[in-house]
Structure formats: structure tokens, C-alpha cells
Amino acid sequence: MDFTAELFNLLDKANGYTEMNEIQKKEVLLKIDQQWDDLPEAKLECNEKSKLALFMTNSALGLSMLDMADKWTDILLMDRLDNPIEVGMYKGEMAFTRKNYVEAFIHFKMAYDAGGQHVFKGSDPAYFDLYKNPEKYM
């Protein structure tokens, strides 16, 4: 089975995603997620899964579909576990979104320790605020 083609077919289902309303977006994400689950486990060996996982993680987070975002974050990071910046920022964002500030702080600290203050560039300013002022959140 050509998993690269299968993954791009799943991404194609998101054509026009930015113009969809929230209900349509959720339906698309649920459909892609279900079709992903239906693929054989060998799909996890395909390098192209990160493109789909990044789209699904960010889209699910944007729609507050947190369980789905958790799942796709794990898929996204599967091949990046040796990158403490990416792991720390993605896992920190997930924990922060769930208001688990202790866990978020731990992950943001891991990212900061690996890359310095610039790891927060382009992210929600509240993430850096939590890192600098954890007492405000705990």
C-alpha cells in the first residue's frame, strides 16, 4: 500500500478548509481522523504523516477538539522525540489549553532550556508569561 498517496488523499479532503464554517471544519477533521484510523498500522512508518499530523494538530486545537489534538500531537512528535524544543512547545501548548499549568510549565521549561527565549516567538504570549511567572497560574 502506498501510504504517502493515502496521506495526501486525506489532506486533499481539507481542500477549502479555511473557507468552511466551524461545523464543516469539524466534520472534515472527524472524517480524516476516522479514515486515518482505518489505515493499517504501517501508516506510522510513513515520513509524510507529519504533514497530516501538523494540519490535524493545529486545526483540532483551533476548534478546541482537545482529545483529537492530543492524539495528533503524539503522532506529530513520534519522529521528533529527540527535539526538546518541539516536544516542549507542543506538549506545553496542549497542557496550557487544558489549564494544566504545572505540566505546561514543565514542558515550556524543557523547550526554554533547550533553545532559550526565542522558542516562544510567534506563540501565544501567555505561554512565555507562564514560564516567567508560574505563580500567577498555580
DSSP letter string, the chain: --HHHHHHHHHHTTTTGGGS-HHHHHHHHHHHHHHHHHS-GGGGG-TTHHHHHHHHHHHHHHTT-HHHHHHHHHHHHTT-TT-HHHHHHHHHHHHHHTT-HHHHHHHHHHHHHHH-GGGGTTS-HHHHHHHH-GGGT-
Q: Residue 104: its pLDDT value, please? A: 98
Contact 85, 114 (CB under 8 A): yes
- Counting beta carbons within 10 angstroms of the beta carbon of residue 17, is it exposed (0 to 12), middle (13 to 18) or buried (19 or more)? middle
Give average pLDDT by consecutive 10-residue segment, the chain, 138 residues.
Answer: 82 87 95 94 89 94 95 94 95 96 98 96 97 96
Q: Residue 98: its pLDDT value, please? A: 96
pLDDT digits over 54-80, tens only? 999 999 999 999 999 999 999 999 989
Contact 4, 52 (CB under 8 A): no
Q: Residue 47: its pLDDT value, please? A: 84
CA angle 19, 23, 27 (to 5 degrees): 95
Which amino acid appears at position 5 of this protein?
A
Q: Residue 15: its pLDDT value, please? A: 84
